[in-house]
Structure 1
């Protein structure tokens, strides 16, 4: 993740899916079977002293920003709240996790659990975890070595051995959180690297495609092998792990580096460029570089969905677009000309499921005005993909230039006022440290109830059958029977008391709903449950109300 202050100064800071037609056929059959059972159960009517199902119509998802106690009571549950509330967890340079190299496996796990628990307490619903900082891995891989940011030595696994990515996925899902795997596409070595490179690192196995640029190493995007290697790495993770999303950041061609005379150095890609010319290529060098990046983006989108149709693909580019399209008054670094990232084209072609432009400037900073830039990206969104901006929450720190917490809170409000459906915080360390009470205030003032991640119906626009609920009188539990367990990721639950509606989300692996409070039955009037698919599609509600003899 690259941070830019708006001036010329730059500073850094599993299983293969079934064929789609087969899945759809199975879901249709399950839906019809469940509908028949539901109709028969409804005809039988409620039994005395039990919880009985009721019919109800589906509602259009909306964001519910009011505290649960302020939601108006009605016979029907409110619309399901939807908003992407995520945070980046950086492994590079031990920014967020693990806090330092060479921690024991138990300490690494404890830190991960602490982060996930804090995310739940804040009512976030997604983690964007960096799994490939620099052509290395935080998981066992036959393609790339273990990251030195885990163990202090590239290629050395954690001790005692465990799979950190699998651990993060399981623990996140258990808490109702999505887990998006964040890859850096081309970086091969960072300035923070201290250890030597392992034999399995790309700099050793394919040295001809790696370039030295400034004090970093880079896989050359113009080399077909570099692109294919990155595609292989991403496909391997999607195939083997139950991730909810694949995420790449703003590092395509590297940010410009200046020499000792203060002049920008060109990226040293002459071998690939000369081969392109010799093969008859007729693009100029800048357009050729953009085409290299475009082909990578399009290929990732295609391959991710070939592996698993429901996995979202998101990109977090620099926040300012093409200079020739910018709104009046907006100025700054041109990723189109310097990083060769044609983000507007990706949106127009629909080569992503969500865009997270890094809008890392204050609302009142006119040359990079937060609201104006959000509006700009919205107007470029021809395929109506999700726009979930990155927020520079880590700018809240202990320096003289620190932002106040109100800046981030106001940015959340600004996005909601513009009908925005989500955002991502960079990064977790600022929330974990609760700088200037930002974590506490977000939870108390902005994330006052749980929310589902917005659906991506263009991935899998299929109906999901509603669950069936059975009351266990002895345990005071509702038992959930899923009609489509293979495709159900979450249960969205409304509980109605005399005073309010309360919303919660739990994993579909947890098939009971506790209606007790402090060990005693809560005075519930109604429980409404929807099955939610992996792509966020919501079933018709299964409604149960408490009746008395």
Structure 2
């Protein structure tokens, strides 16, 4: 079997064809350098619960589901996004081939029914083809959205009834039970080990949102668990349960794959009255038992995504005031990428509100900005013109996801490539390189530079006429390697 072509590449490559020459810029003393690429996390949540974003309804054939997802990813890419946060575990079910839990009914219409393909594997592959990160989104403790739902025999509410609490209409896995926490972490780690995801994401559901009884919150029914395992007052014990879950999950993700980011999207107000003057109808610290400030201060997350769904001029919930508070509490300098309520664009909230919020985040973030749209449907379907507005303003240029300096990683080596003329353009052959997530291709024609983000496993790429080619690798932790640069001479 002949040796691969890339084994014989010299340190630099000159390709000649007729009157056309490609030179490494260093060989001719050129000073052409590609422009620096913007860094910003630009994501959208893709909710599968109730078929909010995808698939459009349960029971579609796999081909139609895949077609819808491809259209969503294509539009996300063309809109300027670089990441998708896909809900893969809405309620102790799975939108992937789980080793623990049954297939989600939001795929087939019936829990446990195989959809005929692996949606998460498909989503990862198709996202990476388009230069998009894929973050797998889990609901850790919600077992069912309604206790009346039909569930399969394999569902946790049947196999471990002792773990389940009914709370209002919900069925809930008891966070106070260490076996529950361990099980939930194993479910997530199964995905981390078997799928090439870029992040693990959980939202704001820890202990459930209060269920009103006679206009008063109904207590979560964990008295038996507290009597058996609790110490001191119940509220601090509940917070400690959630703290332990967050800490252990982060630790185990980093043990398995250090480059996989872990993010949490808590309620956007840590506590009512903080910062001063903030009003809130919910105390996430006191009722969901989520001390999200502590997790950020301890460095138990790679990114925090507080749901800042209020407008800029809101008096009791000021978007910039809340954003600045979260930034001030970010002592470990983790990524702070707020969630923004793109779905609320309408007559009372014009599209330019979202544009302004993104600009405010950029100004306040000092180097590694980011945000996520709730949710994909509103952006993808250009609700009240918001997608087109963002594309021609704040998303004019593509961006790479910011690196995470606290995660150890190495820059990719300079790539080994071979460039040959093909038609009116060129073909680039690429030698494989480990730990490259994406290839960064920058080309210059006249005064204009163009950027393409290519999948890290591709073997070749084709480009049109160009004067300069710059090619570099982007590592799993977001570090960009040194580019090889070629100048075309006619």
TM-score grouping bracket, smaller chain normalisation: over 0.9
> What SS is found at the alignment partner of 1:41?
coil
Give SS of 2:458's match: coil
Match of 1:467 among 412, 415, 428: 415
Please give the alpha-carbon distance, in whole angstroms, between the structure 1 residues aligned to 2:272 and 2:377. Answer: 33
Task: Please point out which of 187, 190, 200 is paired with 1:236.
Answer: 190
Hey, what's the Cα distance between the residues in 1 that align with 2:463 and 2:422?
12
Does the CA contact (< 8 Å) of 1:466 and 1:482 recur in 2? Answer: no
Contact 2:38–2:399, Cα closer than 8 Å, also in 1:
yes
Displacement of 1:50: 2.3
User: Is residue 255–residue 338 contact of structure 1 (8 Å, CA) maintained in 2?
Assistant: yes
Residue number in structure 2 paired with 1:85: 42
- 1:540 lines up with 2:462 in the alignment: no
1:348 maps to 297
Deviations 1:276-307 (A, max 9, x none): 24xxx3x3211111110011101111111211
Question: Do 1:531 and 1:539's aligned partners in 2 also have CA atoms closer than 8 Å?
Answer: yes
Once the two structures are TM-superposed, the CA of residue 423 in structure 1 deviates from its matched residue by 0.4
Instruction: Note the residue ranges of structure 2 that are not aligned, 5 or more in a row.
Output: 1-5
Residue 171 of structure 1: how far off its partner (Å): 0.9
Please give the secondary structure, in 2, of the residue aligned with 1:271: helix
Question: Which of 179, 186, 193 is the matching residue for 1:225?
Answer: 179
CA distance 1:330–1:77, change in 2 (3 Å): same
1:439 aligned residue (380, 387, 406): 387
- 1:165 match: 120
Please state how far the C-alpha of 1:45 moved relative to its aligned partner: 11
CA contact (8 A) 2:411 2:474 kept: no
Deviation at 1:393, TM superposition (A): 0.6
Shift of 1:514: 2.6
Which of 441, 450, 474 matches 2:398? 450
What is the aligned partner in structure 2 of residue 155 from structure 1?
A: 112
Q: Compared with structure 1, are the counterparts of its residues 503 and 265 closer, same or farther at alpha carbon in structure 2 (3 Å cutoff)?
A: same
1:28-177, aligned counterparts within 5 Å? 40-41=11-12, 49-55=20-26, 75-158=32-115, 161-177=116-132
Spell out, residue by residue over 1:169-197, the C-alpha distance to the aligned partner (whole angstroms, 9 max, x if none): 11111111111000001001114x87411
8 Å contact 2:15–2:21 — kept in the other structure? Answer: no
Distance 1:256 1:352 in 2: 26
- Please give the secondary structure, in 2, of the residue aligned with 1:473: strand
Is the partner of 1:367 in helix, strand or coil? coil
- What pairs with 1:325-336 in structure 2 (closer than 5 Å)? 326-332=274-280, 333-336=282-285
| Equivalences, count | 477
Change (3 A) 1:284 1:46: farther
Tell me if the contact between 1:148 and 1:195 (Cα under 8 Å) persists in the aligned partners. no
Q: 2:3: which partner in 1?
A: none
Q: Please give the per-residue CA displacement for 1:432-478, whole angstroms capped at 9, x wherever unaligned.
A: 32111111111122211211111123223323211123221245424
Question: Residue 169 of structure 2 corresponds to which residue in structure 1?
Answer: 215
Aligned equivalents of 1:422, 1:37: Cα separation in 2: 39
Q: CA–CA distance in 1 between the matches of 2:12 and 2:195?
A: 38
For residue 357 of structure 2, the aligned residue among 381, 395, 411 is 411
TM-score, structure 2 length as denominator? 0.93
Equivalences for residues 154-303 of structure 1 within 5 A: 154-158=111-115, 161-191=116-146, 195-259=149-213, 261-277=214-230, 281=231, 283-303=232-252
Contact 1:144/1:202 (<8 A) preserved: yes
Unmatched 5+ residue regions in structure 1? 1-32, 57-73, 517-521
Q: RCO higher in 1 or 2 (8 Å CA, sep ≥ 6)?
A: 1
**2:338 is the alignment partner of 1:389:** yes
State the alpha-carbon separation in 2 of the partners of residues 362 and 200 from structure 1: 44
Between stretches 78-87 and 357-366, larger displacement belongs to 78-87
User: What CA distance in whole angstroms lies between the structure 1 residues aligned with 2:194 and 2:139?
Assistant: 19
Match of 1:527 in 2: 469
SS of 2:87 mapped into structure 1:
strand
Shift of 1:142: 2.5
Shift of 1:89: 0.3
Given that residues 25 and 32 in structure 2 are in contact (C-alpha distance below 8 angstroms), is that contact kept between their aligned partners in structure 1? no
Cα-Cα RMSD? 2.2
Q: Does 1:358 align with 2:301?
A: no
Q: How far off is 1:46 after superposition?
A: 8.8
1:478-523 per-residue CA deviation (whole Å, 9 max, x = no partner) reads 424346x22001011221121212222111223334331xxxxx2x
CA contact (8 A) 1:467 1:480 kept: no
- Look up the match of 1:26: none
Cα pair 1:356 1:388 within 8 Å, conserved: yes
TM-score normalized by the length of structure 1 = 0.83
